[in-house]
Amino acid sequence: MTGNNLSNGGVRKIHIVISGGGKVGSFLATKLSEKGHSVVVIEKDREICKKLAIITSALVIQGDACDYRYQEEAHVDKADVFAAVTGDDDDNLVACQLAKTSFDVPRTVARVNNPKNERIFNLMGMQAISSTTVIAHLIEEETTVGDIITLNIMREGKFAIVEVEIPESGETCLYQAVKDLGLPSGCVLVSIIRANEVIIPRGEDRLQSGDSVIAVTSLDQEVKLKKILTTMSTDTC
């Protein structure tokens, strides 16, 4: 695909291959497909593939993205971006490296589950990040380097961007309103990812089991923030 391809609305249409069809991969595939981009998802699990084929217009391939043949089937050689977003850092590293070395993909973005691995990914020329919403932003935006620098400055300084998973339960639990959580000073909730929806939180909004919360926090309050979000009391469950 060339840089002149435009989707409806005048946005440049790009070809994106995503490794991993779980919560993160599903979110990315749905949102990017809705914006008119060409999206292919490579996922090992057959049942996940079936669900993805129903909820997204992306092409879904059952297979291992660490295997050359499946990347070839997904036309990674024509991809503008390859994003590895499984829950396994080793798999994400191998898949991105294969895309770079064998198919010469110009940009590889990797989800990092263990922050200790982020430096390794970056040293190998991969854009490594933990936030789902930031990954989506990085895939589409041209100002990727600037975004990465900004995030690094925040981490090395006094603030950090964190993503906290609200524990899942057998039922949908409804927690206290955001304004009643008692968030410490220096902590701001930026967005809530609920299924395939991104919510900008307001005081009356209530978190639900299974939500992912993106927050900016001062480093000295990070542990306290995570504790509050993962041990909230429920109003209904």
pLDDT in tens, 112-159: 877 777 778 877 878 777 655 455 555 555 433 333 334 444 445 566
d(CA 186, CA 160): 11
pLDDT confidence bin for 172, thresholds 50/70/90: low
Per-residue model confidence (pLDDT) at position 136: 59
Q: Is the pLDDT of residue 193 over 90?
A: no
In a domain, 7, yes or no: no
Asked whether residue 75 falls in the same domain as residue 180, the answer is: no
Helix, strand and coil in the chain, % to nearest 5: 40, 25, 35
Asked whether residue 20 falls in the same domain as residue 72, the answer is: yes
User: Where is the domain boundary, 91, 111, 143?
Assistant: 143
Asked whether residue 212 falls in the same domain as residue 176, the answer is: yes
In a domain, 110, yes or no: yes
Per-residue model confidence (pLDDT) at position 173: 64
Asked whether residue 43 falls in the same domain as residue 128, the answer is: yes
Asked whether residue 109 falls in the same domain as residue 222, the answer is: no
User: Where is the domain boundary, 117, 143, 169?
Assistant: 143
Per-residue model confidence (pLDDT) at position 27: 83
Tell me the per-residue pLDDT of 53-111, one tens digit each, with 9 for 90 and over. Answer: 998 999 999 999 999 999 999 999 999 989 998 989 899 999 999 999 999 998 888 88
Cα-based distances in Å from 96 to 10, 72, 121: 29, 13, 9
Nearest to 206 by CA among 219, 221, 187, 189: 189
Q: Is the separation of the CB atoms in 46 and 66 below 8 Å?
A: no
Asked whether residue 133 falls in the same domain as residue 183, the answer is: no
User: Where is the domain boundary, 108, 143, 178?
Assistant: 143
In a domain, 1, yes or no: no
Question: Is 0.85 surpassed by the pTM of this model?
Answer: no
Asked whether residue 207 falls in the same domain as residue 96, the answer is: no
* Domain around 184: 159-236
Number of domains in the chain: 2
d(CA 155, CA 161): 7
Asked whether residue 55 falls in the same domain as residue 26, the answer is: yes
